[in-house]
Amino acid sequence: MFFHVQRLINEIVPDEPDPAAANALQEGLGGQFGEMRTMMQYLFQSFNFRGPDGKPFRDLLYGVGTEEIGHVELIATTIARLVDGSPRYQGNPSSLDEPGADGATPLSVALSGGNIHHWLVGAQGALPVDAQGDPWTGKYVYDSGNLPLNLLYNLMLESTGRLQKCRLYEMTANKTARSTIAYLIVRDQAHENAYAKALEALGVEWNKLLPIPKTNAERFPEVETLLDQGLQSKQYTFSLDQLSEAGRLCQGPSPSKDGTTLSTEQAPEGAPMEIATERPEEFGPGLDPELLELVQAAARMEMEEPKGQWGRVG
Amino acid sequence: MFFHVQRLINEIVPDEPDPAAANALQEGLGGQFGEMRTMMQYLFQSFNFRGPDGKPFRDLLYGVGTEEIGHVELIATTIARLVDGSPRYQGNPSSLDEPGADGATPLSVALSGGNIHHWLVGAQGALPVDAQGDPWTGKYVYDSGNLPLNLLYNLMLESTGRLQKCRLYEMTANKTARSTIAYLIVRDQAHENAYAKALEALGVEWNKLLPIPKTNAERFPEVETLLDQGLQSKQYTFSLDQLSEAGRLCQGPSPSKDGTTLSTEQAPEGAPMEIATERPEEFGPGLDPELLELVQAAARMEMEEPKGQWGRVG
Amino acid sequence: MFFHVQRLINEIVPDEPDPAAANALQEGLGGQFGEMRTMMQYLFQSFNFRGPDGKPFRDLLYGVGTEEIGHVELIATTIARLVDGSPRYQGNPSSLDEPGADGATPLSVALSGGNIHHWLVGAQGALPVDAQGDPWTGKYVYDSGNLPLNLLYNLMLESTGRLQKCRLYEMTANKTARSTIAYLIVRDQAHENAYAKALEALGVEWNKLLPIPKTNAERFPEVETLLDQGLQSKQYTFSLDQLSEAGRLCQGPSPSKDGTTLSTEQAPEGAPMEIATERPEEFGPGLDPELLELVQAAARMEMEEPKGQWGRVG
Amino acid sequence: MFFHVQRLINEIVPDEPDPAAANALQEGLGGQFGEMRTMMQYLFQSFNFRGPDGKPFRDLLYGVGTEEIGHVELIATTIARLVDGSPRYQGNPSSLDEPGADGATPLSVALSGGNIHHWLVGAQGALPVDAQGDPWTGKYVYDSGNLPLNLLYNLMLESTGRLQKCRLYEMTANKTARSTIAYLIVRDQAHENAYAKALEALGVEWNKLLPIPKTNAERFPEVETLLDQGLQSKQYTFSLDQLSEAGRLCQGPSPSKDGTTLSTEQAPEGAPMEIATERPEEFGPGLDPELLELVQAAARMEMEEPKGQWGRVG
Amino acid sequence: MFFHVQRLINEIVPDEPDPAAANALQEGLGGQFGEMRTMMQYLFQSFNFRGPDGKPFRDLLYGVGTEEIGHVELIATTIARLVDGSPRYQGNPSSLDEPGADGATPLSVALSGGNIHHWLVGAQGALPVDAQGDPWTGKYVYDSGNLPLNLLYNLMLESTGRLQKCRLYEMTANKTARSTIAYLIVRDQAHENAYAKALEALGVEWNKLLPIPKTNAERFPEVETLLDQGLQSKQYTFSLDQLSEAGRLCQGPSPSKDGTTLSTEQAPEGAPMEIATERPEEFGPGLDPELLELVQAAARMEMEEPKGQWGRVG
Amino acid sequence: MFFHVQRLINEIVPDEPDPAAANALQEGLGGQFGEMRTMMQYLFQSFNFRGPDGKPFRDLLYGVGTEEIGHVELIATTIARLVDGSPRYQGNPSSLDEPGADGATPLSVALSGGNIHHWLVGAQGALPVDAQGDPWTGKYVYDSGNLPLNLLYNLMLESTGRLQKCRLYEMTANKTARSTIAYLIVRDQAHENAYAKALEALGVEWNKLLPIPKTNAERFPEVETLLDQGLQSKQYTFSLDQLSEAGRLCQGPSPSKDGTTLSTEQAPEGAPMEIATERPEEFGPGLDPELLELVQAAARMEMEEPKGQWGRVG
């Protein structure tokens, strides 16, 4: 059973919209090695896990899998911002925000590259597709039922995700895009470390192979700050009932051989969320004055706070 | 940001394994109108939501979307049980649980219908596919960005999910399968009610149209108990920080015209989870004595309980 | 612009339902070489046709394409009948038509092979998929824009369709299935002849190669009657305004070298259509007494006959 | 059984070719909410219809489905014109129509965005794909067998199609594109009205919800003319034998609350069709002088007018 | 550039046809972890290889990739035999080989499970699909361009292939199927060893992790003979010009820790190939007496032996 | 069983990188009518061939199929060169080869059209997809089991491949691209001739229809040199054991009616292969100094030349 808090797992730095960067980021959301895939793969491996002796391994999968839902939320929100009201900065300030000004059609940006579905099928929001527009598919999910194989696959998966995010970083200088890319580079390394450590528990010695790819703060300034916080060596459980035993695996020296020690926490602090503004040229949400009034009336209705047994205890 | 508790959203009633029922249930998990789809559709509609005036509508989507992750967990676990060690009851008791007895091959059941991937690709676990074995695809996710359209689609989606589960109920008498099917019939109706109510807030009057399909406890005994608990008229928020405003919409007489009143709670109590046993004929988890010893050693390692600010407050 | 008459292009012979035959026939409907594909391929080749000099070739494509829509209707209706109320004849007469009798679940047939979607996604009707359940895809449509290539492809396509229908004939003895299969074997040959004749106009001499496959009435008794009517050598235009020039190509000795001469007509006589009965176990159409009354009231409403300029002139 | 007349369902206004607009329009042809989908969905719902009491509902589906075949023809032809001989107007007049002039390669336009398959796989014609190049798939077709659900889905489908066409209108100012887009905006509204009316017959009251999206002539000048003709409130039967009972449903005040009354006609007048010219750089149709002579000889052959019982009666 | 000899890479043991086993084996041919995938993945990694320093790694990929083409040939031929003339042994000896005997339809076997396309689309031959009938897709091919990642993936891929073949072994006792399955279990282990050794060259120590899965001759008698020949520790180069440097990597103690030493050879001896007999019920090859005579005449034509510089030198 | 020599089947002419041309060429590699498809189609038709009388036909399929593996190697290598280090020539010389110079991001080229996966998923290498980025699929493979149909299909397939390559030639003037395109135009014609000749053996007379498309050296200067060498009329067997009987079919006057005579050889001479250089901005191969040293040490290891019975005999 899963719960939600209205906070993003990491803060998104503001910058101009950038549809090309948005489209590239779709690979990190709906691509073969993106966050939807890691999320689903680890959740299925958790649901189907065999062998009560291996509870710490299962709990590790549940923890990373739950974190990945938050990554899906983070990267989807980042894409939505990058594609929102685009693209004022490209020299025609009146184009989208004043539809029709100067004789331009208000959505002509949709024809100039990237994924036309961002404007045509959705209303300037994220899509469950990759950077080529191919939809995410359940075929991506790997769960062989064999523990060593699953761990090997997951290590490779996180490393490939990290590789692609390093390439994404080199494709765009947009700060909104880079703030999320840098965060995921570091968290992918954290997950590389977690799966590599789990394989060390099965006897493997990695020596100099990790991290993959062989790069870090030297190329990516935004990554440096996060490394200074040791974020590449922390594992989160996202476990409300504190029953997770992932911490039994995630301790000791990092397999990345960077001198840090692995540790475990429940969850990061997170950052506040906002609701995006209306885009009338998209008919989103598409309320005329009469319908808007009905919506506002509903938002003013009284409600009783639902009783619940889960919440903030700190 | 999302959290997890190690409890299933509803209890699964024990019964014999039943691979044919397991395969049919895959439609409810990875099918075009299954739980993976509702989960992803509502989450994307939440991430991309436009119009701060509509917060109660967005929070409704977040609440149902988060519940659906728990439904994915429930139905995946149900399928895993139905396909586990199958099928003792089909007249050849020695076939799978004593591999090779009587000259039978230990996995010959895999060739006799259903989805061979349950035994060949996975290790007797759930797959992200439908009852025909087709993988789930991001193409299923509908988010037009237009609020009335999204609500209409969601109402239709829940009703179609409920229709398919009513048909599934009529395909199998297996108690494990039916306990989850019945629960989802009732919760799908709850979500029908929620989206229908949101459309009532926009002025629509449904009169006699709901629920779809036009059936209830009269055909499905397991459903009756749940109706007696009013589960078809409760909305859960799964909101840890209690910021959800879904309750502003989910109140007043049910659109199903069954005499009940809609209400809102944080979450159900849930039921305990277990880890499945090893299946050596599947090499799952595939640990020989040496590897098993390493796994057990890891499970005995000391760990510090990770500090966290979220947990049980009741 | 297209029109419809409420008649099937050929009569369907009654027999018992037969879900396995229904599933096999899906290949002829939604398969890579089925009727949806020929229909779409010829229509796209018509829409995109280049070269005013080639009007008879374009009109041939339009005529066959329009006939194929009627074939889609015929084979879909055949499948719907084969899967309707199934399967009384399989030794358990009470199973489906008296849901729940003898403790059997009313839709257990859905788990016993064929395509479970016939009962679970649809309500015992045809699906736009092939005999493996794979959905029809636009990738099937071939239109190179090169006339000789399109004609070669179409000849190969019709021959492959005919080959598959000959194999289907050998898979089932069900009379409902065979009446439609036999009709399509003969009409596919008619289309083979038409495209082969068009290539003869470009200089090719087929000698002994046709028809493909090399078989005819000798194996398929139902085919013989239709051959006696010369149906393998008739081309229909389905042209309401009689502007089709396909007849310039479809004349002279048949490329099948069977001694017949090709000729052209507007359309066959056809056979009456019926509306299928309700299947309550499928919630199809799913009307409870209150909704049924509303439907019947609508069916009794007065209406003015719409004026129109097209109709029966004979 | 279906028939064809050599007329387009609406006139296409001439303008310069525009490959980017052509590619965008592909969404309306082969997209998830395009005309191929509505056509196939309504035809399958017609073929599989259950319940003789509901004949007016079935006939409504048949009528709209048959109209959609004509829409497929219209939008495919529009795309073919937009991508034909492109793009003279983009500042390099000699590029395509004088292949090789100025050292440019004759098909270099194919590498500059849009869908390269328009030039590489087809010969500057329409493709059965969407605006991202994804092929149409049978998975799009929804037919639950449940009448209320099918009507709800169809209402949502037409509204989503209309929403996308409104967005398409805002993406391009090309007159060829806009003439077809505007026509389809109005006809989609007509179909919204028809399905909404059918649901009114089942008791639903829409109040202010329709049309979706909430826009009309105020943004789209080309739409205004068509509204003045009342085209958003007319239903066509395309029924040759005048047996359609759709008119029983399509009468009374419009669910769009625009003050009009719904009515029924057989078919619109339509506009003449033309055959596109040869494109030698595409080898389309690819006839050298010898083959062209054979084609012309075939076109001069005598033919007998095929006798037929259907035609113009007005 | 590639060459062919008319020999199978391993002998196929004769047994009765067995369509269910044939269908299961399709996973090993066209599945996500089958031979078409390993073949294509290693060939693409070879074509795109970066870094002249790494020639032994590239040559290893080329060698295994070329071997996999031979595996595709072997498993396709095995499937073709298993599905050929099926299934005499299932109690109705007259069914297929005497079409129509006893009133049975000659191809009714096609309706009784497995993949109907084996009889309907192909003529009792292998298909490029998996055991669920899903077509092979280029999405399976992984080539990140990063050497450590590619090696990790390849190790995981071979291990998963071997895992699935171990499961296949346990699904069928058919000797034809098992002879090929056992051979591939051993060769997959050979490739596991090769990639594991290449990672050892990069510093990794596997300790007790390999082979995956943890099983060998103890369960699979047919495997034992091949292990006695040391086939799990031999690497083939299939290099005609002897330029392959794969042997620099494939030497020293086996990573499987089975006491053997890795070594390299050019190619195995192989076994003779045969051409399958005609299946008239499939119209395969579909020659009537006249066409057969033409084929035989062609086969009797004189020919000059083509000169060539490559051939047998031993 | 297959073998490899480290030579390309034809030389690739050097020129500047050109990502747009690279992307267009993907159609020739992974497209519906590209080299992966011809390769797989002919190999499956060879594996499944029926009828010992038809050995020359089977051997023809094996020979062309084996040649196509070399074509896959050739076109993949061509694409890799076109996308390697791109694109110096586009006016910003410092962009890719000096990552980060002038403030540009090193991989910004990835966002400017073509297929972003060339830089994001792969490391500037070829992908198994078409020019729209759609992955190759096993659905492309046609093997009906009927010899005349297979030959007709293959003739159409080669002609369509040649048509697309003629269009590709007209899309780009890049010499690297054109050298491979021109070679494939000529070899596709050779294969057209081979399949046309095989159909002539079955009685067909093509008269003036071939080659398709109707063009040759007059438009494509690079093609002329190859025609002068008679490459359009040579068939290669790639048969190491010289058992191929394809030469019985490939003799006599060319069906293209160009005055040449068909003949058969074992294989062309080929051209040397190279290993591409490292691309650090792609982390390909991604070796840091420590890993590079290990790789170099491996490349210096001694090895014994593997004994083998196949090699150069000329």
Q: What is the pLDDT of residues C183-221, one digit of tens each?
A: 999 999 999 999 999 999 999 999 999 999 998 777 899
Compute the distance between CA of residue B184 and CA of residue B204 in angstroms, rounded to an integer.
26
**Contact at CB, C156 and F159, closer than 8 angstroms:** no
User: Could you confirm whether domain A7-279 is CATH 2.60.120.10?
Assistant: no
Measured between alpha carbons, how far is A210 from D193 in angstroms, rounded to an integer? 62
**What CA dihedral angle connects E293, E294, E295 and E297, to 10 degrees?**
90
Residue with the two structure tokens 């690739």: F12
**In residues, how long is chain A?**
314
Contacts of residue E144 in chain A, CB cutoff 8 Å? 160, 163
Question: What is the C-alpha to C-alpha distance for residues F287 and A64, in angstroms, rounded to an integer?
Answer: 28
Q: Which of A113, A164, A170 sits opposite F105 (nearest CB)?
A: A170
How many Å lie between the alpha carbon of E153 and the closest alpha carbon of chain F? 14
CB pairs under 8 A between A and D: 70
Q: Do A23 and F113 touch (CB under 8 A)?
A: no
Q: What is the ipTM of this complex?
A: 0.96
Q: What is the average pLDDT score of chain C?
A: 93
Chains F and E touch (3+ CB pairs under 8 A): yes
Which residues in chain F land under pLDDT 70?
Answer: 86-103, 314
CB contact under 8 A, D3 and C4: yes
Residues of D in contact with B209 (CB under 8 A): 148, 199, 202-204
Could you report the per-residue pLDDT of A219-260, keeping only the tens digit for each? 899 999 999 999 999 999 999 999 999 999 999 999 999 999
What pLDDT shows up at residue A87?
Answer: 54
Once rounded to an integer, what is the mean pLDDT over residues A181-188?
98
Does the CB of F107 have a partner CB in chain A at under 8 Å?
Answer: yes
Q: Does D272 touch chain C (CB under 8 A)?
A: no
Percent of chain C with pLDDT over 90: 89
Q: What percent of chain A has pLDDT over 90?
A: 89
Lowest mean pLDDT among A151-155, D36-40, E111-115, E198-202: E111-115
Residues 6+ apart with CB under 8 A from A289: none
Handedness of CA B71, B77, B80, B84 (dihedral sign): negative
Q: Which pLDDT belongs to residue F237? A: 97
- In percent, how much of chain E has pLDDT > 70? 94
Residue B103 Cα, gap to closest chain E Cα (Å): 9
Pick from A299, C127, A95: which is nearest to D140 by CA?
C127
**Quick one: which of E6, E9, E73 has its CA closest to E238?**
E9
Residue from E134, E144, E150, E167 whose CB has the most chain A CBs within 10 Å, to mutate: E144
According to the model, what pLDDT value does residue C227 have? 95
Nearest residue of B to residue D143 by CA position?
A: B160
Distance from CA of F58 to the nearest CA of E (A): 9
Residue F93 in contact with partner chain A when CB distance is under 8 A: no
Distance from C-alpha of E247 to C-alpha of B43, rounded to nearest angstrom: 52
Strand pairing category for D252-253 and D261-265? antiparallel
Asked if C275's CB is within 8 angstroms of D54's CB, the reply is yes
Q: What's the gap in Å between the CA of A109 and the closest CA on chain D?
A: 8
Topology at the third CATH level for domain B7-281: Ferritin (1.20.1260)
pLDDT at C270 over 70: yes
3-state secondary structure of F228: helix
Give the integer Cα–Cα distance in Å for D141 and D43: 10
Q: Is residue B99 pLDDT above 50, yes or no?
A: no
Q: Which residues of C touch B131 (CB under 8 A)?
A: 116-117, 120
Is the sign of the CA dihedral D118, D121, D126, D130 positive or negative? negative
For residue C169, the SS3 value is helix
Q: Who has greater pLDDT, E98 or A149?
A: A149
Chain F nearest C-alpha distance from E240 (Å): 5
Q: Return the structure tokens found at E37.
A: 């995938």
Q: Is C212 on the interface with E (CB under 8 A)?
A: yes
Assess contact for A41 and A66: CB atoms under 8 A: no
pLDDT at B104 (0 to 100): 72
Mean pLDDT, rounded, of chain F: 93
| Chain D residues whose beta carbon lies within 8 Å of the beta carbon of residue C51 | 275-278, 284-285, 287, 295
Sort strands B234-236 and B261-265 into parallel, antiparallel or unpaired.
parallel
F288: annotated binding-site residue?
no
Beta-sheet pairing, C2-4 with D2-4: antiparallel
Of E145, E244, E314, the CB nearest to F122: E145
| Element (DSSP H or E) covering residue C189 | helix C175-201
Report yes or no: E133 at the C interface, CB cutoff 8 Å.
Answer: yes
- Note the pLDDT of residue D102: 54
Is A131 touching F (CB cutoff 8 A)? yes
- Which of 228-247 (E) contact F at CB < 8 A? 237-245, 247
Give the model confidence (pLDDT) of C3-49 as tens digits.
999 999 999 999 999 999 999 999 999 999 999 999 999 999 999 99
Size of interface D-F (CB pairs under 8 A): 69
- Is the pTM higher than 0.90? The answer reads yes
Q: What are phi and psi of D222, to 5 degrees?
A: -60, -25
Q: Say what the pLDDT of residue E90 is.
A: 46
Task: Give dist(CA C34, CA B58) in Å, integer.
Answer: 45
Using CB atoms, which residue from E27, E131, E171 is nearest to B105? E171
How does strand E261-265 pair with strand E252-253?
antiparallel
Q: Is B212 on the interface with D (CB under 8 A)?
A: yes
Test C283 with B23 for CB contact under 8 angstroms: no
D145: amino acid identity, one letter: G
* Integer Cα distance of F261 and C204 in angstroms: 21
Q: Do F145 and E136 touch (CB under 8 A)?
A: no
Q: Tell me the mean pLDDT in the region E107-135.
A: 95
Is A283–D167 a contact, with Cβ atoms under 8 angstroms apart? yes
Instruction: Tell whether residue C239 is among the known ligand binding residues.
Output: yes
Q: Which two tokens stand for residue A192?
A: 């590389």
In this complex, which of E152, E156, E203 lies closest to A208 when CB atoms are compared?
E203
CB contact under 8 A, D99 and F170: yes
Q: Which residues does chain C have within 8 Å of residue F138's beta carbon, measured at their own beta carbons?
A: none
Residues D101 and B281: their CA atoms lie apart, in Å, by: 70
Cβ contact (<8 Å) for F20 and D111?
yes
DSSP state of B45: H
Mapped onto helix, strand or coil, the DSSP state of residue E231 is: helix
Q: Which sign does the torsion angle of CA B169, B174, B179, B180 carry?
A: negative
For the purposes of burial, counting CB atoms within 10 Å of the CB of F62, is it exposed (0-12), middle (13-18) or buried (19 or more)? Answer: buried
A146 vs E: CB within 8 A: yes
Residue D304 buriedness (CB in 10 A; 0-12 / 13-18 / 19+): exposed
**Residue C55 confidence (pLDDT):** 98
Handedness of CA E4, E7, E9, E13 (dihedral sign): positive
d(CA D162, CA E264): 65
Look at residue B98 and tell me whether its pLDDT is greater than 80.
no
Would you say C255 and C159 are in contact if contact means Cβ atoms under 8 Å apart? no
A121 contacts in chain D (CB < 8 Å): 27, 31-33, 164
Nearest-angstrom CA–CA distance, E314 and F62: 24
d(CA D27, CA D134): 9
Residue with tokens 């042809």: D29
B152 contacts in chain D (CB < 8 Å): 152, 155-156, 159, 212
Domain ranges across chain C: 7-277
Q: If you average pLDDT over residues B64-75, what whole number do you get?
A: 98
Closest CA relative to residue D274, chosen from D5, D8, D26, D3: D8
Please tell me what DSSP assigns to residue C3.
E
State which residue of chain D sits closest to C285, comparing Cα positions: D146
The tens digit of pLDDT for each residue in C160-173 reads 999 999 999 999 99
Tokens 């979706």 locate to D212
Looking at the partner chain, which of F119, F283, F291 has a beta carbon nearest the beta carbon of A215?
F283
* Apex C298 CA angle, C292 and C304, nearest 5: 160
CA distance A20 to A15: 14
CA pair distance A5, A12, nearest whole angstrom: 17
Given a contact cutoff of 8 angstroms between Cβ atoms, the answer to whether D223 and D38 are in contact is no
Residue segments in chain D with a per-residue pLDDT below the cut of 50: 88-100
Contacts of C279 (CB under 8 A, 6+ apart): C84, C85, C123, C124, D50, D145
In the structure encoding, which two tokens stand for residue D236, read together?
């066509």
D neighbour chains, 3+ CB pairs within 8 Å? A, B, C, F
Does the CB of E290 have a partner CB in chain C at under 8 Å? yes
Asked if A226 and A183 touch (Cβ cutoff 8 Å), the reply is yes
DSSP string, E13-74: PP----HHHHHHHHHHHHSTTSHHHHHHHHHHHHHT-B-GGGHHHHHHHHHHHHHHHHHHHH
pLDDT tens by residue, E196-246: 999 999 999 999 999 999 987 778 999 999 999 999 999 999 999 999 999
CA-closest candidate to residue A184, choices A162, A156, A215: A162
Which residue do the tokens 């064999």 mark?
A: A146
Which of F97, F117, F120 would you mutate first to test chain A, the one with the most A CBs within 10 A?
Answer: F120
Q: Which of B47-56, C88-97, D78-87 has the lowest mean pLDDT?
A: C88-97
Question: Is some CB atom of chain A closer than 8 A to the CB atom of B41?
Answer: no
Q: What is the pLDDT of residues F132-161, one digit of tens each?
A: 999 999 999 999 999 999 999 999 999 999
Instruction: List the single best residue of C132, C156, C175, C215 to mutate versus E (max E Cβ within 10 A).
Output: C132
Which DSSP category does E128 fall into?
Answer: S
In this predicted structure, what is the pLDDT of residue D216?
78
- Spatial neighbors of E99 by CB under 8 A, at least 6 apart, are C170, E106, E107, E280, E281
pLDDT band for position C307 (50/70/90)? Answer: confident
> What's the sign of the alpha-carbon dihedral C114, C118, C120, C124?
negative
Look at residue C244 in the predicted model and tell me its pLDDT: 97
- Which residues, in sequence order, are bridge partners of residue A253? A261
Which pLDDT score is estimated for C262? 97
Residue of E291, E301, E241, E233 whose CA lies nearest to E266: E241
Q: Which residue do the tokens 């996995």 mark?
A: B107
Chains D and C touch (3+ CB pairs under 8 A): yes
Cβ-defined contact of F287 to A214 (cutoff 8 Å): yes
The set of residues, in sequence order, having a beta carbon less than 8 Å from that of A225 and lying 6+ positions away, is none
Architecture of domain D7-278: Up-down Bundle (1.20)
- Note the pLDDT of residue F102: 54
In one letter, which amino acid is A193? Answer: N
Nearest residue in A to E213, CA atom: A146
Nearest to C264 by CA among F22, D303, B186: D303
B-to-E residue pairs, Cβ atoms closer than 8 angstroms: 70
Quote the CA–CA distance of A6 and B46 in Å, as a whole number: 11
Q: Name the CATH topology of E7-277.
A: Ferritin (1.20.1260)
**Closest among A154, A138, A125, A156 to A26, alpha carbons compared:** A125
Q: Is-contact F76 F126, C-beta < 8 A?
A: yes
